[in-house]
Amino acid sequence: MSTSMSPVLAPLRSSPLKVSWARNEKDLLRAQRLRALAFGFSPPQTPEHLIIPEQDRFDSFARHLIVVDTDRDLCVGTYRILDYRGAQKAGGFYTGTEFDISALSPLLEHTAELGRSAVHPDYRSGGVISLLWSALARVLMKEEIQYLMGCASCDLTDPSLDIDRIYTYLRSQAWGEDSQTVIPYRHYPCLYRPGHDPRPPVLPPLLKGYVRLGAQVLGEPSHDPVFQTADFPVWLSVSETSGRYARHFFRSGRKTVRNRSAS
């Protein structure tokens, strides 16, 4: 696990929720167990210490944000950040296991990858993911990261998600430049149906957040048979984040950076 970690990033007044880096192997194990629970690899309500952790080879080279409910001593949120230096040690980015990302090669030195986002089923009202995003905004500003990438997953077992409608919406609203197109190794076929249904589709929360920030989708989705998902390749130029959603999180990040600098 990367050792370039700072103390608690954002303690909340009058709240039991605390966001910090995973500082040791115990913290990382809690994040991995939460991922297993959130991704459906462990039955709901399984006690934390009995969950078999979800792990991969990139974990040791990445940094991990965690949110802990201090009243329950329970890890309720996590996000993995893999920067270029960590990716070099890991043999590449995780996104590169699902897609041929050679089109992005000139930009990867200034890129961080986001992944393994997970929120405990009891905490999905929005507060935990807001904490994670606000902490992430501070990381981006402090480290001057220019680009973010990752895989935004659509759960193929979720009946509320219409993958063809999502694909059609992304093609019309958030499609990237041809020069940056990445190619999936396991293509998940989707139908492009412009004009078929004018209503915006239901989007998974994380994908919806990326789109609201101004992210682009860089091509066709990849099929992940282990997680039973269709994964869209997402790319965000930090300098081009857009809208009130982006201003909210980056304003929060700037305020915290100023406070920490003055202390």
* pLDDT confidence of residue 229: 97
User: How far apart (Å, rounded) are the C-alpha atoms in residues 95 and 233?
Assistant: 8
Domain extents for the chain?
79-262
User: In a 3-state reduction of DSSP, which class is residue 15?
Assistant: coil
> How high is the pLDDT of residue 199?
86
What dotted CATH number matches 79-262?
3.40.630
pLDDT of residue 3: 44
Burial 200-236 (b: 16+ CB within 10 A, else e): ebebbebbebbbbbbbbbbbbbbbbeebebbbbbbbb
- Using DSSP's 3-state secondary structure scheme, residue 5 falls into coil
**CA 103 to chain centroid:** 21
Q: What is the pLDDT of residue 148?
A: 96
**Secondary structure (DSSP) of 128-169:** HHHHHHHHHHHHHHHHT--EEEEEEEEETT-TT--HHHHHHH
Residues of the chain with pLDDT under 70: 1-14, 242-263
Contact 148, 119 (CB under 8 A): no
Q: What is the pLDDT of residue 4?
A: 46
Q: What is the pLDDT of residue 243?
A: 60
> What gap in Å lies between CA 152 and CA 215, rounded to an integer?
11
Bridge-based pairing state of the strands 229-237 and 216-217: antiparallel
pLDDT at 168: 97
Rounded distance, CA 118 to CA 105, Å?
28
Phi, psi of 141 (to 5 degrees): -70, -40
Give me the pLDDT at residue 260, please.
29
pLDDT at 144: 85
